[in-house]
Amino acid sequence: MSIEVRDVSYVYEEGSPHSKAALDHVSLTIEKGEFIGIIGHTGSGKSTLIQHLNGLLKPSHGEILYDDVNILEHKENLRQLRQKVGLVFQYPEHQLFEMTIWKDVAFGPTNMRLPQDEINRRVENALSMVGISSDFYQKSPFELSGGQKRRVAIAGVLAMEPDYLILDEPTAGLDPMGRDAILGKVMELHRELGMTVVLVSHSMEDVARYVNRIIVMDEGTVKFDGEPRAVFSHRDELEAMGLGVPQVTKLGSLLQNRGFRMEDTVLTVDQM
């Protein structure tokens, strides 16, 4: 299973005096089971790219293939495909609106007209995946802290049981504890359930700590795409793009957290 972005360009307001090229001939493939970080400074095209992955935006040029089939011609319609490619927008908690946490998470599965016991199973499962216990089910989402609200919003997407989970800046605006809690949960979804995750971030440190592959966006193009240590070896170029590479001292422990051996770590530091 895969999503392939093939030679995709995208222009906002094409043909108008305000037209803006946001993606410029981007090609990449996301295989099932990967944990990918997409990084780049503001305006580099990250959000535009991920909105193509589930058909929310249609390429001005090129195509998006889901399991080798152009998503615009996929046998399942775009609505069904959007359930398989779950997109968590920035500040997703702004979209919470139901009276209770349970109802909010049930919103998507209810719209899918699933049987009630399947809805219940999905809601409970999704909330447990993000670490929200049953004591909270009947509470208002507005009683929660910022980090907890965000976890409920993420559960709303997980309840659709997507094959791919794409998160746009999931830690934006959270304090360090909230940030670690969210990233830790996302890591668990990947490690323990094998979920394919695409994490958009402007923090190289967050990305370095968790992902297996980093895609660096710059001015609508893919500048680098590879394993973290291969990407970090381009330190000067990354710094010129305004992307801080984790400090050498921290990098060793970050890589070790992710299962690298000390020899690999030393090698990486030497390469930098």
Q: Which residues would be at the binding site for ligand ADP (CB under 6 A)?
A: 12-13, 20, 22, 40, 42-48
* Sequence-separated (6 or more) residues with CB below 8 Å from residue 183: 170, 171, 206, 209, 210
Cβ 48 to ligand ADP shortest distance, Å: 3
Instruction: Please name which of 1, 4, 2 lies closest in space to residue 65, comparing C-alpha atoms.
Output: 4
Using the minimum distance from each CB to ligand ADP, give the nearer residue, 124 or 205: 205
Using the minimum distance from each CB to ligand ADP, give the nearer residue, 124 or 219: 219
Cβ 22 to ligand ADP shortest distance, Å: 3
Given the structure tokens 């997409």, which residue do they identify? Answer: 38
Using the minimum distance from each CB to ligand ADP, give the nearer residue, 8 or 159: 8
Residue 28 in 3-state DSSP? Answer: strand
Cβ 104 to ligand ADP shortest distance, Å: 26
Cβ 204 to ligand ADP shortest distance, Å: 14
Given the structure tokens 């779950």, which residue do they identify? Answer: 86
Using the minimum distance from each CB to ligand ADP, give the nearer residue, 4 or 168: 168
Using the minimum distance from each CB to ligand ADP, give the nearer residue, 44 or 196: 44
Cβ 130 to ligand ADP shortest distance, Å: 24
The shares of helix, strand and coil residues in the chain, as percent rounded to the nearest 5, are: 45, 25, 30
Using the minimum distance from each CB to ligand ADP, give the nearer residue, 45 or 141: 45
Q: Where are the alpha helices (DSSP H) in the chain?
A: 46-53, 78-84, 101-111, 116-129, 146-158, 176-193, 204-210, 228-232, 235-240, 248-257, 262-271
Distance CA 80, CA 58 (A): 16
Cβ 202 to ligand ADP shortest distance, Å: 8
Judging by beta carbons within 10 Å of its beta carbon (0-12, 13-18, 19+), is residue 14 exposed, middle or buried? exposed
